[in-house]
Structure 1
């Protein structure tokens, strides 16, 4: 990269050079967008996997650089015997709700919605001088942490023109690769930690990553097998090295109070705490916010809460719950129940409910605003 130049432009040039003189694709079809505000030109991140480096060098163990280690085998994210049981994805909104929304577009309120979406898109697209890390965690598993991470990764991939990475830092059989639509995984955080060197270019690094269908890249924590958890040293090595290549890195952390989760929350530029819309979930998340307020730096000022409704029949008052979490001064974004997300499996952005799309952009905009604020 050039000294004193525009680091983002340098990265884009590296990507363009790797496409074998193939013109960059035009703006994506809006039908696959998360919301419908103006979109900037995309990078080579959205090209097919065949256009990316397919034969990266085999890693060498750090203890003996003369010995070549075997490359890991690709492993499907979902067992082929189970994949046939996924069924057809359903839309997040019912037919009646989609019809009602279409009629609303003819009213005066439609202009206000477009203006709000445009404002949020501009916040998501804020320029950065160095790579920003946004860590996502929760107080327990099964509340939608990986789903929120996938939504954020897809939102940043859609709106930003610079490289975006979604990184899994939860080796406890995490679901991020499935939610991001990856059919198979190969290289993990631990593998990449042994390979990364300062001399590597972006096109070298992306040879070890999983290209995401909607653009951007994914780095899984493992290959979906029970094994040694991701350790703090590996996490630090990978995130510090990859910051120079990606404008935004969304990290799907393990649940609190895990060591990696606490490290990620302490070192990230912005934090997203996913809270289930239950009384015990709200109470536990408030305790996390109180802990963040005691950290030596202003962690609470760069934190956002995603209040997730995982059931259509929840009886908890969302307004009162959000007010309780806002008391320490933290913004709360409510993610409504969405039939497509509740179905599990890969997230298809075109199938998300409109309220879910809008909430995803609002959450990304709020997190990005805080990530840019932290120097």
Structure 2
């Protein structure tokens, strides 16, 4: 006896073998033809054909019915190696800053920060998207996005979103202090519907400790986690719910980065404090100046110092980048940022906090100009 799944095939094979000795059109053996009247030839009933399996396309998995597993942003085996966060400024530097607050220059600093706060708190009619990118990875792109998100969360009273659009295992969730990630941008692109309310959307986002929300690009796995159609769907839909969205893009010339740079309201380009980094960023600015729409007028450059021993002259680098007509914000070396891990606003150096607030004000000012 054959296996249960092949019993029909074996039965059909036996029926075919039983009829193989009969010639076509003959109903009896040759010896019986003379003894019996010729009878009308009968033909055995054709054997039914074997059933053809029907291949139906697999139904798409409903990610809402089968939610993905929550994955830690840092492997627990490595998280124990993180030391206590250190302050961005040394003790001597903090003491000097305290003395400067007692002088007349303190009033000027307060006036500047008040002006930046006024810029950050200006109302927006529709959600503004600010894209952050760079010419290569490892220059502080995710760090700048996190600083932007925290500045907007601190000064604004409407919902703020930080969105990761980097397929190369970006670090934005870690920098924003998220302990785990469950839903990705690609997941949300299949879930969003026009009838959803803000409370429905935030169920799929990660709440940030200092306020606001985070949407990771993936769950700690390498590969293309957010493609161009998914990015377009997510950013277009989420603009209805969030006043400001800071996007951590992949590096130029990635497809998502080009799309983000073209469709955002303002763009931030992070340049490393090196000669080749400044030169490459200047080439990007020259490319933006040739686009049909005025891209340079909504662009801000961040000149990031990743080492306390940088030898490049900051004034010369700033002048080279500012020449096309874009503002340049200098992000100084900060021990807390260089340490890695979650960013604690209170542990940032004074100059870093000022640079972050100024950058956010420059970006939102340009984003609001776009209609």
Query: TM-score with structure 1 length normalisation?
Result: 0.82
- Number of aligned pairs? 314
Distance 2:100 2:357 in 1: 20
165, 172, 177: which is aligned to 1:169? 165
Partner of 2:248: 252
Q: CA deviation at 1:68?
A: 6.6
Partner of 1:107: 103
Specify the structure having the higher radius of gyration (Cα).
2
44, 68, 72: which is aligned to 2:68? 72
Query: Does 2:234 correspond to 1:238?
Result: yes
Query: Does 2:164 correspond to 1:183?
Result: no
Could you tell which deviates more after superposition, 223-232 or 127-136?
Answer: 223-232
Unaligned runs of 5+ in 1: 1-61
Q: Deviations over 1:5-43 (max 9, x none)?
A: xxxxxxxxxxxxxxxxxxxxxxxxxxxxxxxxxxxxxxx
Partner of 2:113: 117
Equivalent pair of 2:318/2:328 in contact (CA under 8 Å) = yes
Q: CA deviation at 1:69?
A: 4.8
Distance 1:81 1:105 in 2: 43
Q: How does 1:253-332 map to 2 (within 5 A)?
A: 253-332=249-328
Partner of 1:127: 123
Q: CA deviation at 1:112?
A: 1.1
189, 193, 200: which is aligned to 2:196? 200
DSSP 3-state at the match of 1:274? strand
Unaligned runs of 5+ in 2: 1-57
Q: CA deviation at 1:364?
A: 0.4
Q: CA deviation at 1:292?
A: 0.9
Query: Does 2:344 correspond to 1:348?
Result: yes
Q: CA deviation at 1:105?
A: 1.2
DSSP 3-state at the match of 2:303? strand
Equivalent pair of 2:329/2:359 in contact (CA under 8 Å) = yes
DSSP 3-state at the match of 1:166? strand
Q: CA deviation at 1:67?
A: 9.3
Query: Does 2:146 correspond to 1:150?
Result: yes
Q: Deviations over 1:156-191 (max 9, x none)?
A: 000001000000000211000000000000000000
Equivalent pair of 2:63/2:187 in contact (CA under 8 Å) = no
Q: CA deviation at 1:229?
A: 3.7
Q: CA deviation at 1:228?
A: 2.9
Distance 1:203 1:372 in 2: 26
Distance 1:117 1:359 in 2: 10
342, 349, 364: which is aligned to 2:360? 364
Query: Does 2:155 correspond to 1:159?
Result: yes
Distance 2:293 2:116 in 1: 27
Q: CA RMSD in A?
A: 1.4
Partner of 1:33: none
Q: CA deviation at 1:227?
A: 2.6
Moved over 6 A (4+): 65-68
Query: TM-score with structure 2 length normalisation?
Result: 0.83
